[in-house]
A and B are shown apart, each in its own frame.
Chain A
């Protein structure tokens, strides 16, 4: 029973990681933009959410509806103002630019919110659970997981079957040829980053309600997102979801085996996939 519970809790944790990973799958997996500030943006949005609720008195249930548009605006401005200037075939300029942004954001957050850990309480909903056979499953983690499944499906379908999805994949494959096909590559990239960071707005709400956040936590979210995208295979939205599930399950199962092995187990599984199938589990090559 202990291991079945670990598996279910791992899947639910994977639901949270999937939300970090889906934004990363769009930016890194499809557009090949390495956004080192990815985790810091989750933390920034989570702290903004906590401030909206704690200082400005916004209802916690309204907060995600404000955080997602805030993420969209931040993402759009980030791509238009910074990343569109450095997007080239070489990923190094975007890596350096977002590394600088990551350091600046961490220091800004420390300045504003200090190094304390904070969280967002949803009252009774935070601890509510339902009985599923022999297991008790938290309502909130279940909601986070269901949202991740819906988001993965929407993003997958949007990339595959919409004009925007085709334009984004074309621009990522060959920006100049996409321009010659009528695609405004920079505009499409700005929209894609807006969506990616908008998803982080939802992830930030889930993070702040499920666990705690502090300005220096962004690195961990970045690593989990990278691991999920690489395990699943570059360019595959459903692969990022699968990767997030694997990282989540490995962490929970590892921590049940020994409380100190949780995070390490996730990294070991990632390294095993990298060694045995470096192209990712969902890649057709």
Chain B
């Protein structure tokens, strides 16, 4: 299958602290890939490098067959790279509808009409957002805010959707409700990366998984073939 994202020998650093070491990462079109690892393993740094929020110190990132090194972060969204950031990061002081429209205003245009995400489609996916569309986002519950964050990213008409810890701080019932929507999102041809602390959830929701430890990929392969023991070794290190 054609790769939608290819990351080769990626290194990234914050000042003197190197956060990623020669990371190799690849996602095929229509694939769901889980990215797991302990806090500080480099998962969010990898996503920030992919989205262009930080510049890698070495390596190559290609999205939809094109290098992203000369494309500013905001322009990558229009090419079909969208992200649900950790902590939701909604626009406070704006209504649910306005939060959704910010992404819709700048969405990718080369999408078939039938596959296009529209606000009514987002309301079908998360009906509660229709009821609360005129309310300020800060008045919504955490789960509803996460639905706005997912909806906002979908309205960019992504080829690749990066979800950074979307279950963080949410009730299990809400997490289940959001994860149940992933197959529907994927059905439209969108590839998905889920960064997740809940290893079982990550494994059961993905086709393949990558495990990061201290900035290095320590395990990768089909999710159904990787056992929990191997994940444990890769997650905590060989000494555990």
Residues in chain A within 8 A of chain B (CB atoms): 163, 166-167, 169-170, 173-174, 176-185, 235
Check B90–A182 contact: CB distance below 8 A: no
A interface secondary structure, majority? helix
Q: Is the CB of A182 within 8 A of B103?
A: yes
Which residues of B, 165-195, contact A by the 8 Å Cβ criterion? none
Contact residues in A for B103 (Cβ distance below 8 Å): 181-182
- Tell which of B15-23, B59-67, B71-79, B232-240 binds the partner: B71-79
Is B53 an interface residue when CB atoms closer than 8 A count as contact? Answer: yes
Q: Is B93 an interface residue (CB 8 A)?
A: yes
Closest CB in chain A relative to B140 CB, distance in Å: 15
* Residue of A169, A177, A179, A180 ringed by the most chain B CB atoms within 10 A: A180
**Is A173 a contact of B93 with CB atoms below 8 Å?**
yes
Q: Of B72, B92, B101, which is within 8 A of A173 by CB?
A: B92
Partner of B89 from the list A166, A174, A235 (CB cut-off 8 Å) is: A174
Q: Is B24 an interface residue (CB 8 A)?
A: no
Residue-wise, chain B 100-120 has the 8 Å CB interface mask toward A (1 for contact) of: 011101110000000000000
**Complex Cα distance A181/B74, Å?**
7
Docked pose: A174 CA to B91 CA in angstroms: 6
Q: In the assembled complex, which residues on chain A have CB atoms less than 8 Å from the CB atom of B156?
A: 181-182
Q: Which of B89, B98, B106 contacts A176 (CB 8 A)?
A: B89
Q: Which residues from chain A contact B99 at a C-beta distance below 8 Å?
A: 170
Partner of B102, one of A167, A184, A235: A167
Contact B90 A177 (CB under 8 A): yes
Contact pick for A184, options B72, B89, B90, B91, CB 8 Å: B72
Judge whether B77 and A180 touch: CB under 8 Å: yes
Query: Could you list which residues of chain B lie within 8 angstroms of chain A, going by C-beta atoms?
Result: 51, 53, 72-75, 77-78, 82-83, 85, 89-94, 98-99, 101-103, 105-107, 152, 156
> How far is it, in angstroms, between the C-alpha of A184 and the C-alpha of B78 when the chains are bound?
11
In the complex the two chains form, is B94's CB within 8 Å of A177's CB?
no
Q: Number of contacts between A and B (CB, 8 Å)?
A: 70
Report the nearest A residue to B152, measured CB to CB: A181
Residues of B within 8 A of A177 (CB): 85, 89-91
Nearest CB to that of B97 among chain A residues?
Answer: A166
**Would you give 30 A-B contacts (Cβ < 8 Å), ordered by A?**
A163-B105, A163-B106, A166-B102, A166-B105, A167-B102, A167-B106, A169-B94, A170-B94, A177-B90, A178-B91, A179-B53, A180-B53, A180-B77, A180-B82, A180-B85, A180-B89, A181-B103, A181-B152, A181-B156, A182-B74, A182-B75, A182-B77, A182-B102, A182-B105, A182-B106, A182-B107, A182-B156, A183-B102, A184-B74, A185-B74
> Residue on A with the closest CB to B47?
A180
Nearest chain A residue, comparing its CB with the CB of B72: A184
Contact of A183 among B82, B92, B106 (CB under 8 A): B106
Q: A163-B105, A167-B105 are in contact. Are A180 and B94 (CB under 8 A)?
A: no
Question: Which residues of the other chain, B, contact A176 by a CB distance below 8 angstroms?
Answer: 53, 85, 89
Which residue of chain B is the closest to A160 with respect to CB atoms?
B98
Q: How far is the CB of B7 from chain A (nearest CB, A)?
A: 18
* Residue with the highest number of chain B CB atoms closer than 10 Å, among A167, A176, A177, A178: A177
B residues less than 8 Å from A182 (CB atoms): 74-75, 77-78, 102-103, 105-107, 156
- Across-interface contacts of A180 in B (CB, < 8 A): 51, 53, 73, 77, 82-83, 85, 89
Cα(A33)–Cα(B72), bound, Å: 24
Tell me the minimal C-beta distance from A181 to chain B in angstroms.
4
Given the known A-B contacts A179-B73, A182-B77, are A166 and B101 also in contact in the complex, defined by CB atoms under 8 Å?
Answer: yes
